[in-house]
Structure 1
């Protein structure tokens, strides 16, 4: 009975989300009726309404404590996803208050001692740091970190294209690469599309 009585309310929430999504997509280059893009937007909007907005203290705490971890086996994961699972979309997501990016941006490019494993991992994102420092040399440190969190997503997307399976999939239009940025301080999600060496202007959910 409880499940049945909740269905109209759930459908009403989904209807509101769909209306907000369609409004949000107007004026952006992402196709408004792409089911995969809509699934991402619906999912985040549902999370925003049912988790983020209802647990502000939890996400404030998360914003203050972020620590990077090293993750291996990316090539194997990509190969399995494309060949075995036949995925048609890859979404690369960065997030606010990233401990790894903060470490990257704060480490001087000199002979200062490294963390053996963390800094070796972070060197992958060094092109993002260089670009941010070139384009935003006078921004404060927190702003530079935010810029780098987003630019590292683009850097990861470029790196993804070095994998033959990804490169071929994008070239043959069987694979789409999307970039995303989750701002859990303010409860927003930005989404953009990567295709043929170009990146669309991101849009935020919610605006």
Structure 2
């Protein structure tokens, strides 16, 4: 075959045409963009960790980048309303911009260890998040949330999640304060006060759980039984907090630390209808746990 014919066939064959350097580079970029990003991110983190002086500079640059991303990704409120995860995403990016990136040293420390001073026991009710109400920042409070913010008495072989949280917070984290917070219009307390004295159980878990505060129910019926159900519930919402504080002292290691003044017990009550917060401290010594309600000190109201 003549040479010019061979050259013509070679030139016209697309499978044999070598790719240009630009095309090769583009292909590599398309195939390895994620890998390059991950590798760059890893190298960047290692560099910042090995060079403390770069943290402030890096934090500032990351903050500027985050601000640009937030500005560039603002979307109509209609989408946020229709997609709840868009609201969560926006909330996270706002948190990162306003807190995480502004305090890199603080969050680096939190990544290693936590040392909160408070153990907060609050209700699972969506309206009463203790961090929002009391302004706790990451690392300041170890939080346990359950129906009606109840603390059951210690029992042998008890697998209560609340008991496990108490043990970890008190013995491992060595918190200095335990704060039990009740609140207005608590559904768990209303379920407790609405239960018949005798009768069938209408729920699988709720009624058995709220009977943890049956002593508070009995006391409420004795003192405020002549009032309306709403007023009885309001009374019991606070009374159940005091019972939970009393139940805390059934854990021997809590009672011992309280008697040694190494741990303090506090009650709280958040009224989101009227907009106030009550706080009280329990002063109790060894042997006085049974008369806990008579030992309340330092009662105050914030409004």
TM-score range, shorter chain: 0.5 to 0.7
Count of residue pairs the alignment pairs up: 147
> 1:164: how far off?
1.1
Match of 1:93 in 2: 181
Distance of aligned partners of 1:127 and 1:89 in 2 relative to their CA distance in 1, 3 Å threshold: same
> 1:68: how far off?
4.1
The answer on whether the counterparts of 1:89 and 1:177 sit within 8 Å (CA) in structure 2 is yes
Q: 1:80 aligns with which of 153, 168, 177?
A: 168
Distance of aligned partners of 1:75 and 1:68 in 2 relative to their CA distance in 1, 3 Å threshold: closer
Match of 2:273, SS state, is: coil
- Of structures 1 and 2, the one scoring higher in RCO (CA 8 A, sep 6+) is 1
Distance 2:220 2:259 in 1: 29
Match of 2:255 in 1: 167
How is 1:95-174 mapped onto 2 (pairs within 5 angstroms)?
95-174=183-262
Distance 2:148 2:183 in 1: 14
> 1:136: how far off?
1.1
Q: 2:297 aligns with which of 187, 194, 200?
A: 200
> 1:182: how far off?
0.6
The answer on whether the counterparts of 1:70 and 1:118 sit within 8 Å (CA) in structure 2 is no
Gaps of 5+ in 2: 1-116, 119-129, 135-145, 151-159, 285-291
Distance 1:115 1:107 in 2: 11
CA RMSD of aligned residues (A): 2.7
> 1:47: how far off?
4.8
Match of 2:250, SS state, is: coil
Gaps of 5+ in 1: 1-35, 38-43, 49-66
Match of 1:202, SS state, is: strand
> 1:82: how far off?
1.3
Distance of aligned partners of 1:201 and 1:145 in 2 relative to their CA distance in 1, 3 Å threshold: farther
Distance 1:87 1:165 in 2: 13
The answer on whether the counterparts of 1:91 and 1:179 sit within 8 Å (CA) in structure 2 is yes
> 1:90: how far off?
0.3
Q: TM-score, normalised by structure 1?
A: 0.64
> 1:115: how far off?
1.5
Match of 2:301, SS state, is: strand
Match of 1:200, SS state, is: strand
Q: TM-score, normalised by structure 2?
A: 0.45
Task: Write out per-residue CA displacement over residues 19-63 of structure 1, whole angstroms, 9 at most, x where no aligned residue.
Answer: xxxxxxxxxxxxxxxxx89xxxxxx9x958xxxxxxxxxxxxxxx
Distance 1:89 1:68 in 2: 21
> 1:201: how far off?
6.4
Larger radius of gyration: 2
Distance 2:187 2:219 in 1: 19
Match of 2:258, SS state, is: helix
The answer on whether the counterparts of 1:70 and 1:121 sit within 8 Å (CA) in structure 2 is no
